[in-house]
Amino acid sequence: MSAVPVDLGEWFLQHAGDSSSLKADQVPRLVDHILSGARSCGASDIHLRPTGDGLEMRWRIDGVIQTVTSFPQLFAANIIARLKVLANLLTYRVDVPQEGRLQSSIAGEETRISVFPTQFGEKVVIRLFADSGRLELINDLDLPEDIVGKFNHLLEQTSGVIVLTGPAGSGKTTTIYAAMREMLHKSAGERSLVSLEDPVEVVVPHVDQTSANPKAGMDMMTGLRSLVRQDPDVIMVGEIRDRETAETVFQASLIGNLILTTFHAGSCTRALSRLSDMGIEPYLLRSGLLAVFSQRLLRALCRCKKISTDASELLSGQFESVALPVGCDVCRGTGYLGRKVLSEYLDPDWPEISEAILKRQDVKTLNELAAESGMISLRDRARTLVDEHIVSPQEMIRVLGAS
pLDDT of residue 360: 92
In-domain check, residue 2: no
Residue 207 CB-half CA count within 13 A: 29
Of 128, 149, 172, which residue is a domain's last?
Answer: 128
Q: Which of 133-142, 244-253, 254-263, 383-392 has the lowest mean pLDDT?
A: 133-142
Report which of 379, 220, 236 is spatially closest to residue 294, judged by C-alpha positions: 379
What percentage of the chain has pLDDT greater than the value 90? Answer: 57
- In angstroms, the CA 86 to CA 183 distance is 33
Average pLDDT along the chain: 88
> What confidence tens digit (pLDDT) does each residue in 298-316 have?
999 999 999 998 877 777 7
Say whether both 176 and 279 belong to one domain: yes
In-domain check, residue 217: yes
Say whether both 262 and 375 belong to one domain: yes
In-domain check, residue 183: yes
Q: Which of 21-25, 88-92, 135-139, 366-370 has the lowest mean pLDDT?
A: 21-25
> What confidence tens digit (pLDDT) does each residue in 86-116 have?
999 999 999 999 998 886 655 556 788 999 9
Instruction: Answer yes or no: is pLDDT of 358 > 80.
Output: yes
Say whether both 91 and 148 belong to one domain: no
Of 80, 100, 128, which residue is a domain's last?
Answer: 128
pLDDT of residue 15: 64
Say whether both 239 and 143 belong to one domain: yes
85 Cβ contact partners less than 8 Å away, ≥ 6 residues apart: 91
Q: Which residues are bridge partners to 60 per DSSP? A: 45, 65
Say whether both 104 and 173 belong to one domain: no
Is the peptide bond preceding residue 348 cis, with omega within 30 degrees of 0? no
pLDDT of residue 1: 42
Say whether both 109 and 152 belong to one domain: no
Helices 27-40, 8-16: crossing angle, 10 deg rounding? 140
pLDDT of residue 25: 66
- In angstroms, the CA 313 to CA 385 distance is 16
Number of domains the chain contains: 2
In-domain check, residue 1: no
Say whether both 63 and 165 belong to one domain: no
> What confidence tens digit (pLDDT) does each residue in 147-204 have?
999 999 999 999 999 999 999 889 898 899 999 999 999 988 789 999 999 888 888 8
89 burial type by CB count under 10 A (0-12 exposed, 13-18 middle, 19+ buried): middle
In-domain check, residue 3: no
Domain that holds residue 273: 138-400
What pTM does this model have? 0.85
Say whether both 163 and 273 belong to one domain: yes
Using 50, 70 and 90 to split pLDDT, how confident is the model at 131?
A: low
Q: Which of 94-108, 320-334, 342-356, 386-400 has the lowest mean pLDDT?
A: 94-108
- Do 235 and 227 contact (CB within 8 A), yes or no? yes
In-domain check, residue 79: yes
- Work out whether strand 193-197 and strand 208-211 pair parallel, antiparallel, or are unpaired: parallel
Q: What is the CATH number of the domain that holds 173?
A: 3.40.50.300
Q: What is the CATH number of the domain that holds 64?
A: 3.30.450.90
Instruction: Answer yes or no: is pLDDT of 4 > 50.
Output: no
Of 96, 128, 160, which residue is a domain's last?
Answer: 128
In-domain check, residue 313: yes
Say whether both 232 and 325 belong to one domain: yes
Say whether both 213 and 359 belong to one domain: yes
Say whether both 53 and 169 belong to one domain: no
